[in-house]
Amino acid sequence: MTSAVSFTRVSRYFGAVRAVDAVDLDIAPGEFFAMLGPSGSGKTTCLRLIAGFEQPSSGSISIFGERAEGVPPYRRNVNTVFQDYALFPHLNVLDNVAYGLMVKGVGRAERYRAAEEALALVRLPGYGTRRPGELSGGQRQRVALARALVNRPRVLLLDEPLGALDLKLREEMQEELKALQKALAITFVFVTHDQGEALSMADRVAVFNEGRIMQVGTPQEIYQRPATRFVADFVGSSNILPPDFVYRWSGQKRWGSLRPEAIRVNRSVNQEGVRARLVSTNYLGAMIRLALDADGLRLHATVPAGVVLPAEGELVTLTFNRENLHLMEEGA
């Protein structure tokens, strides 16, 4: 099957900076794909390479089997939802949404009808006569989405789509985006630095660092079996264990990771386990996060709120199941 988007050893240099460095990537049709990474990791440049705003310095990109290098953005059936929405301030909402159809020469009545439908799809019916400046952040986001979707793109690109929204709206939009993607069966590629967003929305996640892809996998794979220390550190609040520590428990001298929720905290000091001192506690609502000091190694554990906690400074024993200790590919 042809990939929706395929990168073959794609690099993009800005002067001496390798923004994207020999990336191979395949995104399946109809997939909800996340590019996750810190700022400057190359994820946005990858998105811009797909949109056509950037051209690769080397390597090749194909979109649904067609070569994309040298094809300008306006000839690609790919649309983008920009980070700050990039709505045209001098046009009203309806003309913004109908813009793509207007430049393609679709008649006025037909493009306005399609734009109204798209606005209904993002639950903003009847907002057509307003100016973008009169809308809230969440509404602008929906208009930007409608403006892209009205063109029926083969691939929809979303650049930090929820970055500017507050928590409540963000959670709402996460669900809506996911439902929309399922209903329309369009390939969605979205860029984010928020690992929670990537894990909760995407079918697959690519973790970027310094212009390279560190790991590609389902959210479960990325979260539970990080390939490298960087992925374990970036994707979650995972405990990263040095090779010496891992060797004692698994017999292999490799870096390991252990999820905070996999650690059990026992107040008795007479059983087998890792001896640690409680440094501080952090109330998170449903859970409590404990910071522990195990002979110089800083560990975090989460326990359900409501259990009786040891006092700060108290000595405790930490235990965990061996199968929860994940060994990473990175050696000592």
Residues of span 42-71 touching other proteins by CB under 8 A? 51-53
- Token pair for residue 287? 């859970």
Q: Is 90 in the site for other proteins (CB under 8 A)?
A: yes
- Token pair for residue 168? 């409540």
Q: Which one of residues 15, 72, 285, 304 is an interface residue with other proteins (CB under 8 A)?
A: 72
Question: How many helices (DSSP H) and strands (DSSP E) are in the chain?
Answer: 9, 18
Q: Any idea what the Cα angle at residue 77 is, between residues 71 and 78, rounded to 5°?
A: 95
Q: Is 103 in the site for other proteins (CB under 8 A)?
A: yes
Residues of span 145-164 touching other proteins by CB under 8 A? 147-148, 151
Determine the 3-state secondary structure of 81 from DSSP: strand
Q: How many residues does the chain have?
A: 332
Supply the minimum distance, in Å, between the C-beta of residue 109 and other proteins.
Answer: 19
Kindly tell me the sign of the dihedral angle through the C-alpha atoms of 319, 322, 327, 331.
positive
- Token pair for residue 4? 């929706």
Q: Which one of residues 16, 74, 183, 185 is an interface residue with other proteins (CB under 8 A)?
A: 74
Supply the minimum distance, in Å, between the C-beta of residue 106 and other proteins.
Answer: 11
Q: In the complex with other proteins, which residue's Cβ is closer, 78 or 263?
A: 78
DSSP 179: H
DSSP 12: E
Q: In the complex with other proteins, which residue's Cβ is closer, 35 or 51?
A: 51
Determine the 3-state secondary structure of 264 from DSSP: strand
Q: Is 13 in the site for other proteins (CB under 8 A)?
A: no
Dihedral angle over CA of 113, 119, 193, 53, nearest 10 = 20
Q: In the complex with other proteins, which residue's Cβ is closer, 91 or 184?
A: 91
Instruction: Please tell me the distance from the alpha carbon of residue 199 to that of residue 209, in angstroms, as a whole number.
Output: 17
Phi and psi (nearest 5°) for 59?
A: 90, 175
Stretch that binds other proteins, among 87-95, 110-118, 232-240, 253-261 (CB under 8 A): 87-95
| CB proximity list for 218: less than 8 A, separation 6 or greater | 203, 204, 205
Q: Is 84 in the site for other proteins (CB under 8 A)?
A: yes
Supply the minimum distance, in Å, between the C-beta of residue 287 and other proteins.
Answer: 31
Q: Is 88 in the site for other proteins (CB under 8 A)?
A: yes
| CB proximity list for 247: less than 8 A, separation 6 or greater | 253
Q: Which one of residues 9, 67, 104, 182 is an interface residue with other proteins (CB under 8 A)?
A: 104
Q: In the complex with other proteins, which residue's Cβ is closer, 74 or 283?
A: 74
Q: In the complex with other proteins, which residue's Cβ is closer, 51 or 165?
A: 51
Under rule CB under 8 A, how many of the chain's residues touch other proteins?
25
Residues of span 203-242 touching other proteins by CB under 8 A? none
Q: Which one of residues 79, 209, 238, 302 is an interface residue with other proteins (CB under 8 A)?
A: 79
The contact set with other proteins (CB under 8 A) reads 51-53, 72-75, 78-80, 82, 84, 86-90, 99-100, 102-104, 147-148, 151
